[in-house]
Amino acid sequence: MATPNALFAIFAVTDAVAAAAVEARLLNISPWLYLKVGTGEWLVIAPTATTTKELCDRIGLGTVDPVGSGIVVRAEGYFGRNSKSIWEWIATKQGAELGTATPA
């Protein structure tokens, strides 16, 4: 059985301008996957070895070319109530074959 991919949550992005910039950068994190779940809030699936700092730097919330501030958390477990499609997305994508990410 393959090792599941890492699940990250991005939230508390400072403002609409920063959120738009983060979303633009998320478009370029292929083959990593993301899902917008609210304004300034996304879920990201990345290879297991990915760190929160690496993800922050790639999307503009870290120390490399920042576009704003926000919070990125690696989720080792999760629970809650939301749309069934979100839970299905997480379950499906955690087992997906992602390939190799291109440098930021």
**Using an 8 Å Cβ cutoff, are 42 and 35 in contact?**
yes
Query: pLDDT tens digits for the chain (104 residues)?
Result: 456 899 999 999 999 999 999 999 999 988 899 999 999 999 999 999 999 999 999 999 999 889 999 999 999 988 899 999 999 999 889 888 886 655 54
Bridge partners for 42 per DSSP: 10, 36
Query: What sign does the CA torsion over 51, 60, 31, 87 have?
Result: positive
- Type of residue found at 8: F
Bridge partners for 33 per DSSP: 45
pTM of the model: 0.87
